[in-house]
Structure 1
Amino acid sequence: MTAAHAARPVVWSIAGTDSGGGAGLSADQRAADAFGVHLCPVVAAVTAQNSLAVTRIEPVSPLALEAQLQALADDLPPQVVKTGLLGGVEHVRLVAHWIDRLRRRHPVALVVDPVLAASTGAAFADASMLAAYRELLLPRATLITPNRREAAALLGQPEAGLAGLPTQALELRRRGAQAVCITGGDAADLDGRVLDLMATEQADGWLAAPRIATEHHHGSGCTFATSAAAALALGFVPADAVVLAKMATGHALRHGHPAGAGRGPVRATSGFAADASLLPWLSWGASPTFAPPGEPDAPRASLDLYAIVDSAARAEQVLAAGARTLQLRIKTPAAPDAAWQAALRTALQRSIAAAREAGARLFVNDHWQLAAELGAFGVHLGQEDLLALGDDGRARLRASGLALGISSHSLWELARARSMAPCYVACGPVWPTLTKAMPWRPQGLDNLAWWCAMAGLPVVAIGGILTPEQVEAAARCGADGVCAVRVLGDDPARVLPQLQRALQAGRQAATPSPVPALPHPSLAASVAPPPS
């Protein structure tokens, strides 16, 4: 079988039909097609509905549901199972049984969209159904995607405001769901932005994107859940899957159209992930705080060749060789003493002075308060360091006037970095690197090109860059800067001109690197737990 004809990942959607073609399995199919996965539509209920109302719901018999699952199990085993409208408690029990059965064979993710009521007002779940969700599906769920009313109903609590949603999300995780995204498309805006609350093993926070003004939003919840399921099937971890689901749903809303006298359906199509305006912002914590809108604090000129050095002497050496952007990265020991602190201050003072004399921009890695005190141009921080600062610390950093660079390795980290409006975001590792141990897979040139097209701010390529050819390739992807560490060698004055020529050749290439329709996963997805 050739790569062009390789089997697509399989997603089972166990949900209801919609005779009006808007929601349920109709919307699921469109979302699956947008991601290029194969959807197996398993009918749990038949609904009689149009764009105005649901007039009848007819659950299929448990035997009919069992027969569909049995027919698929050997021929089309799923990577992901997604549930939508289920016809009753027996259906929930049957789904739980099949998830356990499938997981005895191989890892299978479960995405639960708890469809408890229609947007037209029709109720689909009673108290016994809610209890079945809590007892049987939450403990098996890889991801659940309730809206705010559904999250409250699952917990048996009143609907919460923004301040109470993080607690509800954590409680849903405590009850067994590995990841939670409480969607907010049907709730009030924050400064014109729609907020979804994400709580996952990888990251917590608010995903924000501009509200799309449309009357035609039928099937948006189904689209979100199936998009997340499709992303999981492609190998993305839940936090990245939720970012892609938000993008796909925004795209689908933009393509909603009238069909009948009421609210028309949304329409997800391929290409959604190449639209930079759909990439959301992710907050840094429980508070939905984002940088003020507007242009990022961009440097005066391109970052170009971005040298990373570990001492003042090395900084002076690469500046003398012609580097005009550099980062001073001095690692903090496990127990820094007064002598080390004094040596750090001296190294920063010496490097800042050398950069100022050369007309270069010096970013200091990590030590932002000392960098601000001594007058450095900027600071580079990893995301764990920024998280540790808290809201107050990040506000002080922004007020310091330092140009800020932020590392990013995944979609959720890119979305989170954007919330600080940095002067650049680093994409890495582009190639395998031995500079430091990390769990991330290489981004490759495809993801680098995607980052450069989607970030909305300058992107610096970092990781495993050892040759001029790699510098040229990174520049062809649109990188504003290309990091040079080991490639500079012992004689930067000899190597640097070659690298600069390669950078310019990449920027002037007649055919820039293509931007992929979807990035590839940069972190290995965790294996679903075995059945209890």
Structure 2
Amino acid sequence: MTLDSTPTAAARPVVWSIAGLDPAGGAGLSADQRAADALGVHLCPVAAVLTAQHSQGVTALFSVPPEQLHAQLAALAEDLPPRVIKTGLLGSVAAVQAVARWVDHFRAQTPPGADPHRQLALVVDPVLGASAGGVPFSTEAVLEAYRQWLLPRATVVTPNRAEARRLLKQQGGHSGSRQELPALAVGLMGLGARSVVITGGDAPPHAADDSHPGWCLDWLASVQAHGWLCAPRIDTPHHHGTGCTFATGVAAAWALGHVEADAIVLAHMLTRDALAASHAAGRGAGPVKARAGFAKPGRARLPWLGLGDELPWQLSHGQPAGQPPPRPRPAPLFAPFRAPCDGLYGILPDSQELGHALNAGLRLVQLRHKPHEGLDAHLAHSLSLCAERGAQLFVNDHWRDALALPPRVSAEPGFRLGLHLGQEDLLALNAADKAMLLAERDRVMLGLSSHSLWELARAAGCGASLIACGPVMPTTTKDMPWRPQGEHNLRWWVAHSPAPVVAIGGLLTPQDVARFAACGPAAVCVVRGLGEGAAEMAARAPALRAAAATPRDGRRAPALPAPVLDTGR
């Protein structure tokens, strides 16, 4: 039976969780079930270990005999083959080897040339001990089995710092500098893991080397992105099941079609909301409670993703050390963006076409002049035109040249200079580039493109003045791997972005513009739809401007975003 033999296309994706049973209802399969329900996937809870525990610790472990574990998995394979296998407490070498054999069984059905991880993902939560204490969970033989059998097959591994160290045969527990986490992730990837998240919630909140004690800092190292994933700590003594919730969140989001980095962002939001809803049960730490609707506005905040090895700019430059975390929507780090009343954003290839757009009434324009030849003249002319009209000018890509322009026009009433960077350009910045940009943050706006959740989190972490969501429709302007975001994801972006959102990509007609303007963005971008030349722009602009000013319809954002990359499923 192949993994695509589900009864109907509408059936919920299946996730197997092979883990421990916590009779206190806090962690293990109980937490996994709550997380799976919150994301709307079907969980098959498979008991690998029976535990005797309560909120203050674990008193005994009983590994399920290998033949009983195999019988559970064989029965499921006949009728409920998984899209993802997630592991928690396994407890024995035999259980680790059983998981590996079943992963190999399903991945053997991968079509030629396809990615085995897409056929079946493996999310490994290396539960090696109880946070509340008690009997040991793992022997050196079990740890070696993880290294030999699970890490080489893992799609995502989600250890905390202490677990990562044990897997790498290091000492130290949870203490130490956060700077070592990237190296720990590299070590785990060297053992075969494809992506790693080292969670920071277990780290001491007032570590001596940490200038931001009110923040939880996770290190993300995935196929798509790496960096510090940051959010304010949730102040609660009740955190039982946090790691289980996070790992199952990753597995469930992957099963829904999200790639690793996006699945990790969603799992981060799920876990924070679960911590906020935690409650007392017994005399020790109570359980976290994963809930449906965790990603709705007003619930879990979108985390910030840092740029490379640095903390997010919002944290390192906008958040004073030692100060409490900001309100849910902190102000942008760069100069604020305010959309013109019509909400139409024209993107033009040169200063002549830009001038035609201004004459047609646009007051928000971008110069996207790709060749460097003649750039200085186009920049200077565009700058002069926008200053005269009180229009906002964004310069695409050529930000160094834009910053070198004479500053005298910056004092013109209504004029503001903006710089717009794509994510590849953002990642290409060196240390001097970043210092130059940050030094100008009070006088220039920064626009950043985003096509995925992790790019949205990175743009938010940079403190962008505006964030572009795209492509919202199919477009031929650029060759991109991203699926069209559609109205669904645009509404989610608008609800969760800390900066104003502009919709871009494939918008050609007034009907297109009106449809996406109703989703609530601050502005709607038009490229080819403006036409060429003074006469064509003058004829098209009134209808496009009226469409961009379409009243926002007020419909609520969806509970979850849709996947943005083709996973091959």
TM range (shorter): over 0.9
> Does the aligned pair in 2 maintain the 1:13–1:81 contact within 8 Å?
yes
The yes-or-no answer on 1:117 pairing with 2:157 is no
**In 2, are the aligned partners of 1:51 and 1:259 still within 8 Å (CA)?**
yes
8 Å contact 2:421–2:448 — kept in the other structure?
yes
Matched, 1:494 2:539: yes
TM-score normalised per structure 1: 0.94
- Number of the residue aligned with 1:439: 481
Aligned-partner Cα distance in 2 for 1:147–1:131: 18
1:249-294: CA deviations, max 9, x gaps?
Answer: 0000000001111111000010001135521000001122432144
> Is 1:386 the equivalent of 2:426?
yes
Give the CA deviation at 1:191: 4.2
Question: Structure 1: how far apart are the matches of 2:461 and 2:231?
Answer: 11
**Distance in 1 between residues matched to 2:312 and 2:11, nearest whole Å:** 42
Asked whether the 8 Å contact 2:339–2:523 carries over to 1, the reply is no
The answer to whether structure 1 residue 51 and structure 2 residue 91 are counterparts is no
Which aligned pairs between 1:321-340 and structure 2 lie closer than 5 A?
A: 321-332=360-371, 340=373
The alignment's C-alpha RMSD in Å is 1.6
The question of whether the paired residues in 2 share the 8 Å contact of 1:208 and 1:282 is answered with yes
Higher helix share: 1
2:145 aligns to what?
132
CA–CA separation in structure 2 for the residues paired with 1:311 and 1:454? 33
Q: Do residues 142 (structure 1) and 164 (structure 2) align?
A: no
Alignment partner, residue 295 of structure 1 = 331
Indicate if the aligned counterparts of 1:466 and 1:486 stay in contact, CA closer than 8 A. yes
Number of the residue aligned with 1:93: 97
Using the TM superposition, give the Cα deviation of residue 392 of structure 1 relative to its aligned residue in structure 2, in angstroms.
4.0
Map of 1:313 onto structure 2: 352
1:187 matches 2:203 = yes
262, 280, 287: which is aligned to 1:258? 280
TM (norm. structure 2) is 0.88
SS at match of 2:266: helix
Partner of 2:464: 422
Letter paired with 2:51 = T
Unaligned runs of 5+ in 1: 528-532
Mapped to 2, the partners of 1:17 and 1:461 lie a distance apart of 46
Q: CA deviation at 1:525?
A: 2.8
Deviation at 1:370, TM superposition (A): 1.1
Say whether the 8 Å CA contact 1:473–1:506 is kept in structure 2. Answer: no
Following superposition, the deviation at residue 4 of structure 1 comes to 11
Deviates more, 1:429-438 or 1:481-490: 481-490
- 1:87: how far off? 2.2
Query: Taking every aligned residue pair, what percent have the same amino acid on both sides?
Result: 54
* Counterparts of 2:503 and 2:550, CA distance in 1: 16
CA distance in 2, matches of 1:478, 1:395: 33
Kept after mapping to 1: 8 A contact 2:494/2:501:
yes
Conserved? CA contact 1:468–1:498, under 8 Å: yes
Distance (Å, rounded) in 2 between the aligned partners of 1:514 and 1:464: 24
- The correspondence of residues 25-44 of structure 1 with structure 2, limited to 5 A, is 25-44=29-48
Q: Deviation string for 1:434-457 (max 9, x for gaps)?
A: 001011110000000000011021
Alignment partners' CA distance in 2, 1:485 and 1:395: 31
Q: Helix, strand or coil for the counterpart of 1:39?
A: strand
The equivalent of 2:448 in structure 1 is 406
Q: Distance in 1 between matches of 2:255 and 2:399?
A: 40
Would the aligned equivalents of 1:386 and 1:394 in 2 still touch at CA under 8 Å? no
The CA deviation at 1:526 is 6.5
Which amino acid counterpart does residue 182 of structure 2 have in structure 1? P
Aligned amino acid, residue 163 of structure 1: Q
Residue type matched to 2:351 in 1?
Answer: A
Q: Which residue of structure 2 aligns with residue 67 of structure 1? A: 71
Q: Hey, what's the Cα distance between the residues in 2 that align with 1:4 and 1:514?
A: 29
Which has the higher mean CA deviation after the structures are superposed, 86-95 or 468-477?
468-477
Q: Is the 1:188–1:194 contact (alpha carbons within 8 Å) kept by the matching residues of 2?
A: no
CA distance in 1, matches of 2:58, 2:74: 30
2:15 and 2:41 in contact (8 A); partners too: yes
Q: Secondary structure at the match of 2:170?
A: coil
The answer for the alignment partner of 1:477 in structure 2 is 519
SS at match of 2:506: coil
Show the 5 A alignment for 1:133-282. 133-159=146-172, 161-189=177-205, 190-275=212-297, 277-282=300-305
Asked if the contact 2:312–2:462 (Cα under 8 Å) also holds between the matched residues in 1, the reply is no
Q: Give the Å deviation of 1:391.
A: 4.2
Residue 346 in 1 paired to residue 374 in 2?
Answer: no
2:403 aligns with 372
1:383-407, CA deviations, whole angstroms, 9 ceiling, x for partnerless residues?
1111111344223212123210000
Instruction: Establish whether residue 456 from structure 1 lines up as the match of residue 456 from structure 2.
Output: no
Cα distance, 1:104 vs structure 2: 1.6
Q: Which amino acid letter does the alignment assign opposite residue 363 of structure 1?
A: F
Deviations 1:340-388 (A, max 9, x none): 2xx1101100111111111101100011111011147011001111111
1:493 Cα deviation (Å)? Answer: 1.0
Contact (CA 8 Å) 1:476, 1:513: kept in 2 or not?
Answer: no
**Residue in structure 2 matched with residue 530 of structure 1 by the alignment:** none
Amino acid at match of 1:127: E
Q: Which amino acid aligns with 1:242?
A: I
Shift in alpha-carbon separation, 1:526–1:394, aligned structure 2, 3 A: farther
Q: Distance in 2 between matches of 1:289 and 1:432?
A: 31
In structure 2, the residue matched to 1:359 is 390
